[in-house]
Amino acid sequence: MDKILLLRHGMRLDLEDEAYWKHYARRPHDTPLSGNGIKQAQETAKFIKDEGVKFIFASPFFRTLQTANIIAEYLGLKVNIEYGFMEQLSEQWFTEFPNIVTREEAIEIFPSINQEYQSAVMPNFPENESDIQVFERTGRTLEHLFQQYCDPVLIVGHGASIWETTRNLWDTGKAMKYPPEQYSLKMCSLHKLIKVDRKWDLVLSTTNHLSYVDTW
């Protein structure tokens, strides 16, 4: 494998319509995409259509699966549900392992889910807030991918899991606790890493493909 694309999910519904979501949500922590988020996923699919992606891996949260499914349908690919790339399980955000869409429900909702794939890594709750556990689990997940796949992949995750995945790949990033200024963590920000001479190089970190960029 010599190319990896990393993508944060699109804009969340709860950030654009908080009152509606909190009132009607059955799973408050498992928000879907907003209308803007759906458009962001569609624009990303068109932007990466010539990148040669052969496999898509996504966190099990609804917003990541929704983002990945939109892209997968456009590219004619399947989505592998991978818990190793899920949100950081911090007690600051969750009081227990989050109640999210089940694998069986996801298969019914999203046509592109690969029913044969079994997650390589399963995180434990809680994870500390130093990010080291997210760094370690995304690293273990990457090791599995490297053992099983050689074609370019797209990984759809969250702010924490995408950054920690980048740190595992990008040598100069391992000493960085926080992303550098040129690294975007906006919703649906895209990062491309290329392997050259056995080292991963971050060649792209952008939201330029999006017509809507959040202000968070």
C-alpha of 161 from chain center: 7
> Which amino acid belongs to residue 170?
W
181: how many CB neighbours lie within 10 A of its CB?
A: 6
Q: Which domains does the chain have, with CATH numbers?
A: 3-206 (3.40.50.1240)
pLDDT, residue 22, reads 73
pLDDT band at 172 (very low <50, low <70, confident <90, very high): low
Tell me which residue has tokens 């000493």.
175
Between CA 163 and CA 125 the distance in angstroms is 20
pLDDT, residue 171, reads 66
pLDDT band at 20 (very low <50, low <70, confident <90, very high): confident
Q: What is the CA radius of gyration of the chain?
A: 16
What sections of 48-92 are H helices per DSSP? 62-75
Q: What is the mean pLDDT of the chain?
A: 93
pTM over 0.85: yes
